[in-house]
Structure 1
Amino acid sequence: MREATVDKLNIFIVMFFMSLIMSVQAPIFTPYAAMLGASGVLIGIMLSAAQVANLTGNLIAGPLVDRFGKRVFITLPLFVSGALFIGHGLASNSATLLILRIMNGFSLAFLIPAALALLSGYAANSQQQGKNMAVNGILGTVASIIAPLIGGKLGVLIGYANAYFVIGAALVMTAIYTIRFVRDRQVVIVDYRSPKKSISLSQILAIPHLHIVFLSGFAVMYMHGVIIYEVPYLTVEKGLSTASTGQLFSFMAVGTFLSLSLFFINRFDPIKRMMFGLFGMCMSLFALVNSLFSLMLLLFLIGFCFGIMMPAMATAVTDAISREGHGRAFGVMSAVYSSGMIFSTFITGIIREVISPYFIAFLIGMLVLTFVGYTKFRAPQSAHSKVY
């Protein structure tokens, strides 16, 4: 039992440092790309192209993770991504940065499904699953509170290129830690009454319960992508420092941390939690469009609702499918997240001069919320089907 706890602790440590290191670049990528000559549209294309590569990798990753194990698909992408981030610092023009961004997006596609699938093996029921995902979310949120501040300060103190050297070296060190301490094994009690059987991608896509989870995931990441694009762009449009935009991201992260700390929420139906969080994000974006409250407060509220959504969606996925299919399921879920980011960053780069990207994100969120609510209350039995 103690060994299992130590193993799970090592997974949490690795996922924390993954989140911390990769979030450091949030406030510096947009101004760095602009410094290399990228226009607003090209920056949107860079972000979208990276997510297209990430989506492609997610769909490939799921079956491979289920077949060959999780650990190798955590360690190898960390090494590759570390090298590619170092390459970011060596980029001399926006075209090179675009290529590096695409390659990095593909390499990181294997990381998150493998890590979530490995963590999901350390729970015997839905409530434990929700607690594990919430703890992981808390650690990731703590990282996202600290990381933008670190990234903003690094950009000011040592420059954008040198900041990417630090990010790359830190990822390589995390990969070395993973080799030494992370074990690829399951510690839950397995039901031996029936033999294991693989679950195909088509079976996963056919589960009605997952349709509303995937749609919600798309909407959440679309809205998140708009924030990720628009807030750093303040450094370009309004002449703010990267430290200032880092502080804005930290307000959002504090909201996420607060909601993830409310462990009693995991007792409630994950679909209802998803609906509540999605509604809150939509209303916050609507207020953002009309400048009803301060930007810091609204980012805090968006972060709070985001923290409600993410563990709920992860728990809804594990509730709907047996453990043998978790790699594929989280692979699809990661692909859905990537598609939300693809559309949001690309569309935002094109329309931001014509209409508020926040308003489009609000409309998308409300459409998905309406569909989820209609599906949930029209056919509640479908939410309890599970593929074994």
Structure 2
Amino acid sequence: MRIHPIRFLRIMGLLDGISLITLLLISMPLKYFADLPQFVTVNGSVHGGIFIAYFLAIVIVQLRIQWHIGWSILSVLVAFIPFGNFLFDYQLKKMQPTLHTKPFPKQWLVYAIIFFSFFDLFVQLPIMSTYALSVGATTFVAGIVVGLYSFMNTFGNIFSGIFTDKIGPFHILVLGLFTSAISLLCYQLVDNATVLLIVRCIHGFSSGFITPAAFTLLANMRASNEQGSGSAVTGSFVGIAAIVGPASSGILASKISVPNVLGIVALFGIVLLIGLFLFLRKSPLPKRDKKQVTEKFNWNSGILKAYGGAFFLMFSQGVLAYLLPIYVQDLGYDSRVSGTLLSVFGIVAVLIFILPTNKIFDYLNPQVTLFVGVLLLGLAQISIGLVTEMSWLYAILAIYGIGFAFLFPSINALLIDATTEQIRGKAYGYFYAFFSIGVVAGSSLLGALDLVGTSGFVFTGTLLFSFCIVVLFSFMKSGAAFVKVQHKEKMHHS
């Protein structure tokens, strides 16, 4: 007999509430008044394990019951309030008879795979350069180690795009998750800089398989009139990965070794691989006639704008990652401030992605939102280099987050509108190759030109404005409508 997801949540919630009460009312007093800290150590570990199980129960309920996301958020919040779980259990008990399980939403598994792909990328940022130095690399080689991942990602993206169209996204996702997990485990074998370079090549290439295939599968699963908001939801998982990845790896690396941190990421990938076989293996591939199979990739206006937007978005990101920490340090602030600034941009972007504001991308022409996004990024880049007050920097990074939130769904929607299912894999392969190239180009170009501080930010803003003008003229020349023409079609299946 299967246990109802709400019942499972209630059980884990009560256990979490009991462990919290014993920690606060028994273990903590014993530590401070009886000098027995071991009770806090044991009770704290037990409480942490139960909370993880409780959080997983919330995720299961969200996926199987599919209640309003607000209930999941409330479920998390009550866990931090003494006796909160007990009061919430009373509400859950009343709700349980009215809540029924629903089919597993397969798109959420694909969202998790996208999160894994970008989490894998962002986890590396704060730890890879220092790890390279620790295994004997020079500072020059350490720089190559960091950039090699994105460089090899480019080739993996193109490979994925070509073969996604030939054998389907499911098979490429299986290959990508399996090889990425193996390459992450290979860091356990690194004992010198040469071996690290080899592992980085394999890791970057294999990880490049995942993103084009996942985005192609999602695009083929969504209704044509929901591509904008759907891309925004997808962007929220990218944003969350950008917020959680660096912070979690920095904390874990202070407790365990870097290879073990990457090993934990590998285990996450293996879990997703199992889920892929369980829930998406039976997903049918699109039927294709001979005409569709021989359809050629066409570099049309929509695709070029999407690729240009992808390149300049990540060019801007590369510049921000390179210049902002240096600029903040030159202003006399602690280096940790640059991390909080980047978190502000990520949080603002994620909020726009997940709140009802994401519906704007279903109604406005993606060329319009593309223009707004690039314009805001350019304004933010120039403004960063012109201010010295921390309060202004936080405000500007919030504007940057709005620009990012407008740009990411726009370029995805443009690409989807400009392609068919038969060539969409290859289109996404090139698309994420431009992403990878943009990251490398942003930091390396400014480094080569020796542009730091204000001059670097102004140079980047000027480049973004130039692309903005190109987008505006193209939009005006095409005579396209400001608002999308809504389609009656509800769904086209992968």
2:129, 2:146 within 8 Å by CA — same for their partners in 1?
no
- For the 8 Å contact 2:128–2:146, the answer to whether it is kept is no
Which secondary structure does the structure 2 equivalent of 1:106 belong to?
Answer: helix
The answer as to 2:383 corresponding to 1:284 is: no
* Secondary structure at 1:92 match in 2: coil
1: distance between equivalents of 2:123 and 2:244?
A: 8
1:180 aligns with 2:278: yes
1:316 maps to amino acid? L
Which residue in 2 is equivalent to 1:141?
239
The residue aligned with 2:29 is none
Which residue, 348, 352, 356 being the options, matches 1:255?
A: 348
State the 1:46 CA deviation. 3.5
Query: Is the Cα contact below 8 Å between 1:58 and 1:113 reproduced in 2?
Result: yes
Provide the C-alpha distance between the structure 1 equivalents of 2:382 and 2:130, rounded to a whole number of angstroms.
27
Of stretches 281-290 and 54-63 in structure 1, the one that deviates more from structure 2 is 54-63
Q: Sort the Cα spacing of 1:213 and 1:380 in 2 relative to 1 into closer, same or farther, 3 A.
A: farther
Q: CA deviation at 1:7?
A: 1.9
C-alpha distance after superposition, 1:194-238 (max 9, x if no partner): 96344323x2x2x12222221121111111122234457799999
How much has 1:335 moved relative to structure 2? 1.4
Name the amino acid aligned to 2:349: T
Partner of 1:152: 250
Q: Give the Cα–Cα distance (whole angstroms) in 2 for the partners of residues 264 and 169 of structure 1.
A: 35
CA distance in 2, matches of 1:218, 1:368: 11
Gaps of 5+ in 2: 1-100, 485-494
Report the alpha carbon displacement of residue 327 of structure 1 after superposing the two structures with TM.
Answer: 0.7
Cα pair 1:48 1:345 within 8 Å, conserved: no
Instruction: Return the offset for 1:326.
Output: 1.1
| TM-superposition CA deviations, 1:332-384 (whole Å, max 9, x none) | 11111122123123324434576754343223212211222222223335999
What secondary structure sits across from 2:221 in the alignment? coil
> Over aligned residue pairs, what C-alpha RMSD do you find?
3.4
Indicate which of 188, 211, 218 corresponds to 2:304. 211
- Return the letter of the residue paired with 1:322: T
In 1, the alpha carbon distance for the partners of 2:334 and 2:388 equals 22
Where does residue 78 of structure 1 map in the other structure?
A: 177
Matched, 1:58 2:157: yes
Please say which of residues 89-98 and 231-240 is displaced more in the overlay: 231-240
Amino acid at match of 1:332: Y
Q: CA separation in 1, counterparts of 2:166 and 2:105?
A: 25
- Normalising by structure 2, we get a TM-score of 0.67
The one of 96, 104, 123 aligned to 2:222 = 123
What is the distance in 1 between the residues matched to 2:163 and 2:309? 25
Q: For the Cα contact (< 8 Å) 2:180–2:203, is it kept in 1?
A: yes
The answer to whether residue 315 in structure 2 is matched with residue 222 in structure 1 is: yes
Indicate if the aligned counterparts of 1:122 and 1:187 stay in contact, CA closer than 8 A: no
Q: Is the 8 A contact 1:255 1:304 kept in 2?
A: yes
Structure 2 vs 1, CA of residues 140 and 14 (structure 1 numbering), >3 Å: closer, same or farther?
Answer: same
2:398 is the alignment partner of 1:305:
no
Deviation at 1:160, TM superposition (A): 3.2
1:336 has 2:429 as partner = no
Q: Which moved more, 1:225-234 or 1:10-19?
A: 225-234
Aligned to 2:295: 199
What is the CA deviation profile of residues 9-53 of structure 1, one whole-angstrom value per residue up to 9, with x for unaligned ones?
A: 322233334433443223222333354555665454344433332
Shift of 1:62: 1.5
- Residues 65-104 of structure 1: pairs in structure 2 closer than 5 A: 65-88=164-187, 90-104=189-203
Identity of aligned residues (%): 22
Higher relative contact order at CA 8 Å, sep ≥6: structure 1 or structure 2? 1
- Give me the whole-angstrom Cα distance separating, in 1, the residues matched to 2:175 and 2:236: 25
| Gap runs ≥5 in structure 1 | none
- The corresponding residue for 2:263 is 165
CA contact (8 A) 1:71 1:182 kept: yes
Match of 2:368 among 257, 272, 286: 272
Query: Distance between the aligned counterparts of 1:45 and 1:236, measured in 2?
Result: 24
1:153 maps to a residue whose letter is I
Cα drift, residue 3 of structure 1: 8.2
Alignment of structure 1 residues 338-353 onto 2, 5 Å? 338-352=436-450
Displacement of 1:112 in angstroms is 0.6
- Structure 1 residue 65: Cα displacement: 0.2
Q: Which whole-Å CA distance do the structure 2 matches of 1:4 and 1:133 have between them?
A: 22
The answer (yes or no) to whether the contact 1:270–1:313 under 8 Å persists in 2 is: yes
The CA deviation at 1:122 is: 1.3
- 1:273: Cα distance to partner? 0.5
Distance 1:346 1:277 in 2: 23
